[in-house]
Amino acid sequence: MAKKSVASLTEADVSGKKVLVRADFNVPLGDSGNITDDTRIKAALPTIQDLVGKGAKVILCSHMGRPKGEVKEKLRLTPVAKRLGELLGTEVIKCNDCVGDEVTSTINGMSNCQVALLENLRFHSEETSNDPEFAKQLASNADLYVNDAFGTAHRAHASTEGVTKYLSPSVAGYLIEKELDYLQDAVDNPKRPLAAIIGGSKVSSKIGVIETLLDKCDKLLIGGGMIFTFYKARGLSVGKSLVEEDKLELAKSLEAKAKEQGVDFLLPTDVVVADNFAPDANAKTVSVEEIPDGWMGLDIGPDSIKVFQDALADCNAVIWNGPMGVFEFDKFAAGTEAIAHTLAGKSDAVTIIGGGDSVAAVEKVGVADKMSHISTGGGASLELLEGKTLPGIVALDDA
């Protein structure tokens, strides 16, 4: 999936041109409407700064939240424009819509090197339904297109896929380029030994990625709530722990496939159990063979942490997707935090954090800057690791 990148565009290609950039500014907001985490805004800066430096008129577009085709005042992108202006050190023109005469007039009045931000794309239901007429309207104010929103690249929306039919060239921004370099390379040309750590609550949400990684990796470490489905499939008692009863046969077959392919398939040997699902629940550590009735597993235990650390010691590449336990509760965060610290200590290895809760975990522990790559996509990261094609990427010009 080698795609043409914004890096290949020269000053002659973009100077004075109107460039539509799909960014991912779906940032979390506090109660007062303030941005609580600007990571995604900062991640878009290299592409924006590159285009501004080459004399383009930069038209940014993004969604925020799920307004479902209605204007929701709380989901306007005004705070994003303000923060982006602070980071760029220049005013960002904020439009009150993403299509229409007012937007066209604002864009036509832009000077070279100016930056404008359109209003939340999802105030129009035509964005998510990939309506051709809406895509055409969105594209009509621009000369070329850059997609730098990896988090929505697995969706065929008007702003990710539809606009490419009307704008040429259509290229990848630096963020998407980096995601493809790391995530695709990790599974297509891996450094060995390659380990994958897969966590999270349900086997069902990670089936595809586990199956794909069994073909690619040397070691597969499983944590999180999904371990109890594997234990039950082995005939163990799991108390009140989360189990997907309809996935027991699948769990057996995944273990069998790992054995067949010579992949080290590691499940925790001990777990931290609780008498209920609460941050202040009573807790104790037990062997996985001795989970008491009425108790539920909420983290991996200290022996398991040691086993996992030993397994990772010789690995030259590690992909991590999903927490080891309910890390939002401090009492059940030790497993997840230990894995984060372990990967942070592997300075000679390629360490890839594959989106979602694992990203929150490494940020909580304060070791995000020690990882080789932190993916900005949740579902998009998983689908890429599964080997699926992402519509927002496929639609871009080939390199």
Q: Which residues are catalytic?
A: 40, 202, 356, 379
SS (H, E, C) the chain: CCECEHHHCCHHHHCCCEEEEECCCCCCECCCCCECCCHHHHHHHHHHHHHHHCCCEEEEECCCCCCCCCCCHHHCCHHHHHHHHHHHCCCEEECCCCCCHHHHHHHHCCCCCCEEECCCHHHCHHHHCCCHHHHHHHHCCCCEEEECCHHHCCCCCCCCCHHHHCCCCEEECHHHHHHHHHHHHHHHCCCCCEEEEECCCCCCCCHHHHHHHHHHCCEEEECCCCHHHHHHHCCCCCCCCCCCHHHHHHHHHHHHHHHHCCCEEECCCEEEEECCCCCCCCEEEEEHHHCCCCCEEEEECHHHHHHHHHHHCCCCEEEEECCCCCCCCHHHCHHHHHHHHHHHCCCCCEEEECCCHHHHHHHHHCCHHHCCEECCCCHHHHHHHCCCCCHHHHCCCEC
Residue count of the chain, please give it: 399
